[in-house]
Structures are given as structure tokens and as C-alpha cells.
Chains A and B, each alone.
Chain A
Amino acid sequence: MNQDVYVVIEHLQGKVAEISYIMLAAARQLAQVSGGKVVGVLLGQGAQALGNGLGADSVLYVDHASLAEFNPDAYLSALSELLAERQPRTVFLGSTTIGSDIAGGLSIRLNAPLISQCQQVNAEGGRLTIVSKICGGKIMAETELPGTLTLVTMIPGGYPPEAGQGGGASIEMVAAPSLDDLRVTLSGYIEPEAADVDLEKEPFIVAVGRGIQTQDNIELAQTLADLLGGVVAGSRPIVDQGWLPTSRLVGKSGKQVKAKLYLTLGISGAPEHIEGITGSETIIAINSDPNAPIFGVAKYGVNKDLFDLIDPLIEKVQAAKG
């Protein structure tokens, strides 16, 4: 056991994911209190160069053909062997489509506790705690960080990614374990279909969430969007219901938007959605729940039933357009 803080570097299609830098920033804060080094763990094939921009003290690089792209089975085998041998105190993984696939398996294989949904490391009063955001962003839960190997999955929001960038970390090659009997194989990627709109380039977006209640009500958002020269987007439940196509999904598994105006109707602001909208200039949120987490990230908030507000709003926007 040592006090090192390991960060499993996530990358997809040759690009380091932003969450990797966020985790490095958290790891740095933790290491400054607990001692130990910040160590990036990079798995790939011919991907050593991805280690160059990381704000880590050193990078462990495992190179293998089966690690060329993310494969949960291969990652699990490679990481469990590496971590069992090195025994760092803390290991950060993304609470993402990559990290969440393997964190649980590592917890079982390494017999190590797992804390998920960490947004912030807290070091007040000499106690190291992990602050997790749960229940769709409505509840924070604080857990003491144990003194032995612990896995932590991390969500964005607590650290700016720039704080985890850097350079000059030494890169150490680590031999890959045998990865012959993998039970999962990647056949290939399917790129998103070219859609009628590219949300990432749209300046004005009216986004609807569960609060819109029915598919028919999306028409109201569409009317408003048309008047503003914008487009309609949605949160996960709306797309899962089939009320909007996947190309209109904003958030963790959808688009990261950078709108001038992002107007939300009945979106509570689950962390998965917030991930996709923080690049927007002005977020205006309309929600009937005064405690909706969306009000924590919006610039302006309206705590009203959207169905009481939408008609007068459409009328006034129409009037303003003349």
C-alpha cells in the first residue's frame, strides 16, 4: 500500500476524454493532502502519445492489440492485474460509459470498496471525504475515504478540466497480461447519422424534459423554438420514449451543446444532462420544482408550471416579432 492516486485515463477514437483531466485535477488535490503521486494509467495500442498532455507525475502505459479500443473485458483484466500488484490508495475512473463498465468488476476482483458518482474530494479538517451526487443531482452523499485501495468513479462539475492538463510526466511501459480469452469483442463503431440539425452548432435551443408530460406538448416547445429561430432538443427520458430522435439528445450520451440561449422546459437537471449543457452561454430554466438542480447551473430561473407560462410567453414573443 502507498498513498498514490491512480487515474484511469479514458480515451475514445484517439482522443483523451475530458473526464480524464477532471479526474487528474481531483487526484492532484487528493495527493497534496494524502501525499503520494498522481499516476495516469493509460491502456491502448500505439497510444503512448496520449500520455503527453496529462497533468500527472507519471504515466503507466500498457500496450496491447486488444486494448486498442475500449473493451470492458480486456480493460478489466489488464487493470485488475496492474492494480493488484501496485496497490495505490485511490483509483479514479470515469462515471462514464467506459469507467462504469469496469469499476464494479474491479471492486469484486480486487476486493476493494467502490464509491461512485464522486463530484468533489473534500479535505477539510484533515479528513478526506468523497462527495457524491446522487438522486438525479438532488442529494449529495459524503463518504470517508478509507486508508486502503479504494475505487472512485467520478462525474464532471467539481473541477475545471484545464486543472488536470499538463506535460512532462514520465511514461513507464508496463507489460500487458495475457488477453487471449476475451469474452467481448468490438466489431466496429457506428458513427451518428447525419441529422437534420447539428445541435452542437445551434445558437438557440429549446430543450424539453420529463416535465413536458406528453409527446403532443412538444409542439409547444417547437412553436417557441420556431419563433426564436432555434431548434428543439431533449433530455434522456424524452428520447427514450421515442418523442424526439436521438440526434436531438443533449447530455452524457448525446450532444454537448454550446448555445447562446439554452431554454429548458421541465428539465430537472440530472448530472447526465448537465454534462451536455455547461458550454452554453445563457441557460434559462423553467421548472415547477424550486429545488430542481437545473437552477444550480442556469443563469436565470423561473419557478413556475411551464403550462401556465408557455402560452403568455408564446404570445409575447409573437408580439415582439410584430
Chain B
Amino acid sequence: MNIVVIASLVPDLVEELEIGPNGTALDTAWLRMVINEFDDHAIEQAILLKEKNNAHVTVLAIDQDGIDEVLYTAAAKDANRLVKLVGEFEEGFNSHALARAFAEAIKDFAPDLILIGVQAHTNIDGAVGPLLASMLNMPYVGYISGVNLTDGAATIRKEYPGGLIGEMKVNLPAVLGIQASEQPPRYVAVSKVRQAMKTATIDEQDVAVLDQSGGLAVSRMFKPEVTGGATMITGSEDEIAAKLVDLFKEIGAL
């Protein structure tokens, strides 16, 4: 059983996001990048499946500043193989370009199952998973919070609104978009990651050209007006607390 997990980095939303000088993209100079949390769940799900099914787990990523740490962390969690796609990516990449690059690389891995985070908050031309699945002519199901492997198929739990779960059987090979792993992503100590840096290797594969077609150029990027909404309550902590208590009374919660 060959499992390929795809991971990428996204801007950390805890930090302030700035729009670049051309007004059509984020200013990357100050961005702090973190692993896409859904990809983190996909890695955890792959490791859980490895433990249950003795699978071989390859983690595949495109070269981004900080991606090596993500790959080594996956190795510390017991992933078998780390692969990084390298090339000239100054102009960035959209989901279509990423999917094409991954599809090309994956052909050699003979995967039975490909796991990827169901979305990334930067996606503007769809998530990578469904694009990749169609390029590889594999079925895709997303918003998954549980995977079991049985003869040639995956039994998955797909989330619907209101807590409803759809149980589906998906023939392998398939691409699954992970919403949440069955257990929260495990913590690995920094010392174990450092150890992995010494023992694990990252295989590099060249990507000649990124083909962005299927995604469209953004003509303008801007921040939404958020201040128009709420009446802001200001003052010292005590003053604010007192005003909130008045509001709670008004609403009938006190």
C-alpha cells in the first residue's frame, strides 16, 4: 500500500497580511508561512493508516521557504520518503499549476492513495485535490474525517453540514481531501525533528515549467471593510467588562 501525502505552506493568518505593490497579490516579503493545517491533518491520517495497514508513506511538497522543516517533521512522525519539487517559482503558483506539477511527479510513485488537505485558504482557483484527481483520472472525495482501507477500496466518512456524515466507498487508487484526521495531529519534539534532519533525506525532483492555465489572473486584491460592522467597545479592561455586563443584561443573559 503506497500512500502519497501532499503538503504545502500558507500564510499564517495570525499575522497581519499586506497586499503587494502591484495590488494583485499578497506582499510575500513579510509573510510568515506555516503548514496548511488541513495538510497537517492529511499527514496525520497517512501515519495512522501506516500504523494500521503497514503502508509506505511518501510526503510530497513543492519548494517553499520553510518546507524542509515540514518534511523533516513528517519524517519524525514516521513518514518513509520525502520528495520536494524544485524549480524557478518566483512568480508563485496557483492550484492548477500545483496540481499539474504534482500529477507529473506522482506518476512514478504508483500510489494507491493520495491524501491532501481539503483546501488551503489561499486557493482562488479551487483546491488542489480535485484538480489532481481529474488529471490522474482518479476519483476524488473531500471533507473527509475518517479513512479505513479494505481490499482495493477506502471506506471514508465525508462531512456534511449539521454534523451529518456520509459513509462512502471509494475505489483505489483515489485522491482524498482531508478535513480532519481521526486523531489530532501528533506532537513531535524538536529533538526528534533535529534527529530526522540528520537521518532522513529529501529527494529533489525538477519541475521544468509551471503551467498556471485554468486559474485566472487576479485584477485587484484588497482588504474587506471590517470596521463598518461592529460597534467597538473601548476603555480599560474594567470599563469594557462593565459595558459588556450591561449588554448581557439588555440581551437577557443576566
List A residues at the B interface (Cβ < 8 Å).
Answer: 12-13, 17, 69-73, 76, 96-97, 100-105, 107-109, 111-117, 129, 132-144, 146, 153, 183-192, 203-204, 210, 228-230, 237, 239-242, 246-247, 249, 252-256, 260-261, 268, 270, 281-282, 284-285, 289, 291-293, 295-304, 308-309, 312-313, 315-317, 320-321
Contact = CB atoms under 8 A, between A and B. Distances in A.
Contact of A295 (B13, B129, B157, B229): B229
Interface in B121-152: 121-131, 133-135, 138-143
B171 A183 contact: yes
A84 B183 CA distance: 41
8 contacts: A97-B159, A104-B99, A104-B133, A139-B222, A184-B168, A270-B121, A295-B230, A296-B229
B245 A153 contact: no
B224 A189 contact: no
B225 interface: yes
B109 interface: no
B253 A292 contact: no
A284 B234 CA distance: 13
A184 B169 CA distance: 6
Interface residues of B, number: 92
Given A12-B160, A203-B253, 13 more contacts: A17-B161, A102-B130, A104-B131, A133-B224, A141-B124, A142-B222, A186-B167, A186-B168, A189-B165, A189-B166, A239-B180, A301-B230, A312-B241
B184 interface: yes
Contacts of B95: 104
B179 to A, nearest CB: 7
Given A105-B133, A295-B226, A100 B127 contact: yes
Interface string B242-254: 1011011101111
Interface of B: 11, 13-14, 16-17, 19, 26, 37, 41, 95-96, 99, 118-119, 121-131, 133-135, 138-143, 155, 157-171, 174, 177, 179-180, 183-184, 213-234, 237-238, 240-242, 244-245, 247-249, 251-254
Contact of A108 (B123, B135, B162, B166): B135
A312 B238 CA distance: 6
B186 to A, nearest CB: 12
A184 B162 contact: no
Contact of A192 (B133, B155, B163): B163
A76 B234 CA distance: 51
B37 A237 contact: yes
Looking at A13, A101, A247, the one whose CB has the most chain B CB atoms below 10 A away is A101
B141 A135 contact: no
A320 B229 contact: no
A69 B160 CA distance: 12
Contacts of A117: 123-124
Contacts of A76: 134
